[in-house]
Amino acid sequence: MVKIAKDNLNKIKNKNLKIKAFHADVNKIIFKKNDLIYSILLMPFLSKKNQINLLKKSYKSLKSGGGFICINKIQSSNSQFQDIFNQLYFDFKKSKKISSNDILKKAQSLRSVLTLNTQAEEIKNLKKVGFKKIEVFFKYLNFIGIIAVK
């Protein structure tokens, strides 16, 4: 994924953008002061403790008025909706010609790895570390996009 990201970054015409793609342990990274930090489908792979630690590090490294954008897979607050969302997502994958076997293998591989929050928990965690302006900008099935401003 890092190689793909680097290849895509090399195609960007605007060289004033300071974007880096690299592979590292997110718990050990020291963030520099930033205007924008984004986390795409990362939080569910961290423990609850490490999710909060990453949010704290992100908040502290943002300049005043800086933004944190995250897209995460979430847990529905209702088990019936969770089942419906999962089934619809599997249907979506099937429509993209992903085999049933590959869908099942992926689901099995993620079972013991993901730590999902509800939408309310995601927002609560952002508030807990200091963010005051928080807005959901995207929601599709059991995925959510949130922007938070320092």
Q: 12-62, pLDDT tens digit by residue?
A: 767 677 777 778 888 888 888 999 999 999 999 999 999 999 999 999 999
- What is each CA distance from 118 to 35, 44, 110, 132, in whole angstroms? 27, 11, 17, 19
Helix residue spans in 21-146 (DSSP H): 48-61, 79-95, 100-110, 119-128
Beta-carbon contacts of residue 39 (< 8 Å; ≥ 6 apart)? 54, 58, 68, 69, 70, 71, 72
Please tell me the predicted confidence (pLDDT) of residue 15. 67
Tens digits of residue pLDDT in 62-73: 999 999 999 999
Residue 11 has what pLDDT?
Answer: 79
Residue 76 is predicted with a pLDDT of: 94
Res. 113: pLDDT tops 80 = yes
Instruction: Give me the pLDDT at residue 80, please.
Output: 95
Three-state DSSP class for residue 29: coil
CA atoms within 13 A on the CB side of 86: 14
Token pair in block for residue 47? 């423990």
Give the pLDDT of residue 24: 85
Q: What mean pLDDT comes out for the span 99-107?
A: 91
Residue with tokens 């939408």: 119
Please give the class, per CATH, of domain 25-149. alpha beta
Q: Which of 17, 54, 11 shows the shortest CA–CA distance to 35?
A: 17
Q: Which sequence spans correspond to the domains of the chain?
A: 25-149
